[in-house]
Amino acid sequence: MSILRNQLKFAEPSSEVPFPSFVKERPELVVNWLEQFFECPVAVKFTNNRSTMMSWRREKGTLRIRLHQLFVNAPEPIWISLAHYWAHEDPASGGIIDAYISDNLPDYKRESPTVNGVGKHHDLLQLFDALNERFFHNRCRIQITWGKPGRSRTGVRSRKSIQLGAYIDSDKLIRIHPCLDQRFVPNYYVAWVIFHEMLHEVLGVEQVNGRRQTHPPEFIALEESFPDFERCKEWEKRHLGRLLKFRPG
C-alpha cells in the first residue's frame, strides 16, 4: 500500500525496445535499455554479494540498482522480469527471478526475513489474527512484521511518498512501515493497511490483456467494504503530512 504525492511513471517493458544481445561482453549497455523503460537515469552495479542478490533505490531522480554478477548472463525474459519487479514489485516476476537464481546458483539460499510484529504502540500479530478470522476465514497463511526504520534523515527535506505496507509474495510476508507504530496512529487505521495487504495474498495477481493488475475492480470493492474505510480515508487526509515527516528514533 503506497501513498504518493508525485506518482512516478513507468513504461511497460515491451518488444518495441530491443534488448542488447551482448550484455555479457558489455553489461553497461543494459543501462540504456532500462532507461527507456523507466524514463529516468539508471545506474547499475554488478556485485558478488550473495546475501543480497539485488537491491534498488531512487536517489535524486536516478534509479540505482545493485545486482549479483549472476544476472550479467541473464537472458532477455529475466531482464524484463527484473524491470517489472523494480517498477511494480510484481510477485509473479519475483517468482521468475527466484527460479532463475535457484537454477543458476544451486547453493544460494535466501536469508529468512526477520519477523517482529510487536511494536511500541501496535501489535500487528493481534490485528492480523483478528482480521484473518473476521474477514478471511483464516485463509491467510503469511507472516507479518514491522519494516526496518532506516536511517534518520535529520535536516533532509520531507519525503514526498511513503509505502505504508507491502506484500512480498516470494517471502510470504507483509511488511508494515514503522511510521504507523506511533501513539497518534489509531488501531483501526493500522488494521486497514494490514487488510489491504492481506487482500493481495488472498486475491493474487490478475492479468488483463497481458498486463498485471494489482488493484482490479474486485480488489477495490473489497477494500472499500472495510467497515472503517471512510474513517480511515478521512484520518489519512488529515495526518498524511505527519506520516511523511516520520524520522526513526
For residues 89 and 81, what is the distance between their CA atoms, to the nearest angstrom?
10
Sign of the CA dihedral running 220, 222, 225, 228: negative
pLDDT digits (tens), the chain, 249 positions: 644 333 333 334 443 555 655 455 566 677 888 888 788 898 888 887 766 788 888 888 888 888 888 888 788 888 888 888 888 777 788 888 888 888 887 655 555 667 889 999 999 999 999 999 999 998 888 899 999 876 544 444 556 778 899 988 777 899 999 999 999 999 999 999 999 999 988 887 665 555 556 778 888 999 999 999 999 999 999 999 999 999 886
The SS3 assignment for 107 reads coil
pLDDT on residue 207: 53
pLDDT at residue 187 in the model: 97
Composition of the chain by helix, strand, coil, percent to 5: 40, 20, 40
pLDDT score for 6: 33
pTM: 0.58
- DSSP category for residue 144: E
pLDDT for position 8:
30
Q: What is d(CA 149, CA 156) in angstroms, rounded to the nearest whole number?
A: 16
Predicted local distance difference test score (pLDDT) of residue 12: 45
SS3 157: coil
Per-residue DSSP letters for 47-90?
E--SS-SEEEEEETTEEEEEEEGGGGG--HHHHHHHHHHHHH--
- pLDDT score, position 19: 61
CB-count burial class (<10 Å; 0-12, 13-18, 19+) for 92? middle
